[in-house]
Amino acid sequence: MVERTPVLDAFAHLILIAGAALVCIPIYFVFVTGTLTQQQVLQVPMPWVPGDQFMANVATAWQKADFGRLFLNSLVVSAGIVVGKIALSLLAAFAVTYFRFPFRMTAFWLIFVSLMLPIEVRIVPTYEAAANAALPWNAIVDALDLQGLARTITGRELTLTLDWSLVNTYSGLILPLIASATATFLFRQFFLTVPDELSDAARVDGARPMQFFWLILLPLSRSNIVAMAIILFLWSWNQYLWPLLVTTEKSMSTAVIGLRHLMPSADAAPSWHVLMSATLLTLAPPVVVVVVAQRWFIKGLIDSGK
């Protein structure tokens, strides 16, 4: 940085080029496959040079999967998840690092435990929870026979059980995926590195905790928030199983589901070229997000690196 190190520079560039190449070889093949015809795709070995069917395949993929609507859904859902997760996690991490209260560590471990059970294992009960979000309330009503109680008190038949279905809705797509510990863990790590002098000074100045949070902690966390937002957006964008289960309307489906529906089944013509061009299509919005978000990334870091 201060001195000249041409050898190290060249070496670093080499590493980066090798890294980028290694990392992008699979993507390159996705691209090449997406430019071939059905015939060429079935040839073995596959050509290394791209064909000329890119736009045609992209058009086919777009039309077959009706990607316009699917992209919109994916965008809404991913944005919702990102916003929800980050907001909830910032607050929880703040509570767990800056406040002393009983069960503090228990709370942190409870949150952490949510990383340890993949959604596939609990998919059926989670679906039941989404199909009727009022299930716990209903269970309480049944267990305590509250309806019987209501009958005795008021003399009338009252239905106290609720039916709040989140199936085929944006909330159903977003809420169950908002529960997560990664962001809380990350922000906890970061908050622990924030110098104590800052909160000392804030308390001395008479600032309330939330003021400290808004005015000091959040701006400091900007680069971590951006990094986490990128990760979470990409993660949500690629969610398959939960959206598959909780939607039956084509109009509520997400982009990755549309992508998987194009996967050739064993008994039909293997249209890998359509699938791969659809993959590229589905890759485009996240990559755009990555590129755009990098600007805030750098900006945030320059500010805090003074």
Partner 1 sequence: MQASTDASAWAGGAGRLRPTGPPRALPASSAESEQRGLKRSTFENRALAYLLLAPQMIVLLFFFFIPSFRALIQAFQLSDPFGGSTQWVGLDNLAALWRSAPYWAAVRATIVFTLALSVATLGVALLLAFAAHHVLRGQTLYKTFILVPYAVAPAIAGIVWAFLFNPAVGPIAHLLHSAGIAWDPNRFPGHAMTLVVLASAWKQVSYNFLFLLAGLLAVPRSILEAAAVDGAGPIRRFVSISLSMLTPTLFFLVVINFVYGFFDTFAVIDATTRGGPAGATTTMVYKVYQDGFVSLDLGSSAAQSIVLMVLALALTFVQFRFLEARVRYAV
Partner 2 sequence: MLNLFRSCFFAALALLLIQPAQAATTIELWHAMSGALNERVDELADKFNKSQSEYVLKPVLKGGYDDVVNSMIAAYRARQHPPIVQVNERGFLTMLSSGAILPATELMEKAGHKINWSDFIAPVATYFTKDGVMMAMPFNSSTPILFYNADHFKAAGFDKPASTWPELEAQLYAISKKGVSKCAMVFPADWEWSFLENYSAIEDVPYATKRNGFDGVGAEYVFNKGRLVGHMERVKRFLDDGILELAGQGINPGQLFIAGRCSTVINSTAAHAAVEAGAKFNWNATFLPTEKDSPAKNSTIGGAALWTLKGHKDEVYKGVAAFYNFLGNVETQVWWHKATGYVPVTQAAYEAAKAQGYYKDKPTREIAVVQLARGTPSDNSKGFRLGNSAQANIAIKEEIQAGLLGQKPMQKAMDDAVGRGNEVLRQFEKVNAGKY
Interface positions with partner 2 (CB under 8 A):
38-39, 42-44, 64, 76, 79-80, 83-84, 86-87, 123-124, 127-128, 131-132, 165, 167, 169-171, 174, 241, 244-245, 248, 250, 252, 260-271
CA dist 103 and 121 (Å) reads: 28
- Of the candidates 127, 143, 115, 111, the one whose C-alpha atom is nearest the C-alpha of residue 242 is 127
The answer to whether 132 contacts partner 1 (rule: CB under 8 A) is no
- CB 112 to partner 1: min, Å: 7
The answer to whether 54 and 35 are in contact (CB under 8 A) is: yes
Give the one entry of partner 2, partner 1, none that residue 250 binds, where binding means its C-beta sits below a cut-off of 5 to 8 angstroms depending on kind.
partner 2
- CB 5 to partner 2: min, Å: 42
The answer to whether 230 contacts partner 1 (rule: CB under 8 A) is yes
Give the one entry of partner 2, partner 1, none that residue 245 binds, where binding means its C-beta sits below a cut-off of 5 to 8 angstroms depending on kind.
partner 2
Neighbours of 273 (CB within 10 A): 26
DSSP class per residue in 220-248: HTHHHHHHHHHHHHHHHHT--HHHHHH--
- CB 101 to partner 1: min, Å: 5
Give the one entry of partner 2, partner 1, none that residue 281 binds, where binding means its C-beta sits below a cut-off of 5 to 8 angstroms depending on kind.
none
Residues in the chain, how many?
Answer: 306
Residue number, 44 or 153, with CB nearest to partner 1: 44
For 145, residues 6+ apart whose C-beta sits below 8 A from its C-beta are: none
Secondary structure string (H, E, C) spanning 209-220: HHHHHHHHHHHH
Tokens of 47: 């050509």
- CB 105 to partner 1: min, Å: 7
Q: Binding partner 1 by CB under 8 A: which of 56, 123, 150, 167?
A: 123
CA dist 70 and 298 (Å) reads: 31
The answer to whether 100 contacts partner 1 (rule: CB under 8 A) is yes
